[in-house]
Amino acid sequence: MSVDGARVVTCTLNPALDQTVVLDALVPGAVHRARSVRSDAGGKGVNVAACLADWGVPVAATGVLGQDNAAPFQALMEAKGIADAFAWIPGETRTNLKLLDAQSGDTTDINLPGLAVTADALVTVRAVLRSRATEGTLAVLAGSLPGGLPAGTYADLTAALVARGVRVILDASGPALAAALAAPTDALPFAIKPNRHELEEWAGRSLPTLADVAAAAHDLRVRGIPLVVVSLGAEGALFVTEAETLHALPPPTTIASTVGAGDALVAGLVAGLHAELPLADTARLALAFAAGKLGQAGANLPPRETVRAIAATVRVERLAG
């Protein structure tokens, strides 16, 4: 697959090798014996690209990788047919530890520091986005920013992409998200996907009820973001546009690994937008991607027919606007 053929581009400025350690139960302060260990090339945008490729959407991935341990990323992109448009710099891409408690199903994340991204590397990423993300492209900017990059990096990238008619889907948090949301209306992303905690952080208040979450999401929509999606874990997700507010509820799901489930939801959202599905069908597909991924290790989807079957079981409720 060539980069030129991709209509979706993901950007991961702080990718990681996700090392998942499965424990019988996580007990702080105790000595543990791991049931199993696996390592996956990851980072939010990489995971989104992997799920989209499984679904058959042409996708290119860019960002910054350390050349000293790039082999797992190369192998992933080659295996899935993801077009590799990364900037490679000296050093090693960080490793993130995921401690999976088999008893509760909870995952404890330990995210290590990333590469110090050079100005030249960011220039390369900007050039890739400028040449590959043309009018009509969906561009996913996802994940944390590495040390050395200012909080306004995503805001700057978004403004440049939007000016060329690109629809930007932003999945970020903290100061990087706040800076992007503070941009002028004509430089805002097309869609954002905070979780409840990230939305609370932006809103500056607790959002204990679904109505509270919906109200904060509407504040963002009124601010000028056409589509606000809020992931709610076991409660599903909210999908808010000017015309509709939908609550999508996931079916009961067997959990093999929660690593990358939020990224799979973003991939399903992008797949729905790519196919120009109605909002309710996009919501069903997004929840089906996330539920399907929960049954898989790593950022992988089950077969297409399985995902479609899950989507048919996703309940979507319309909420008052």
List residues with catalytic annotation.
Answer: 263
Rounded to the nearest 5°, which phi and psi values hold at 126?
A: -60, -40
Beta bridge partners, 89, equal: 66
**3-class state of residue 108 by DSSP:** strand
Dist CA 178 CA 154 (whole Å)? 10
Dist CA 228 CA 223 (whole Å)? 11
Report the residue count for the chain: 321
Q: What angle do CA 247, 292, 174 make, to 5 degrees?
A: 60
Retrieve residue 112's tokens. 């290590």
Dist CA 19 CA 197 (whole Å)? 24
* DSSP state at residue 34: -
On the 0-12 / 13-18 / 19+ scale of CB atoms within 10 A, 30 is exposed
How many CB atoms neighbour CB 299 within 10 A?
29
Retrieve residue 31's tokens. 């000595």
Dist CA 279 CA 287 (whole Å)? 12
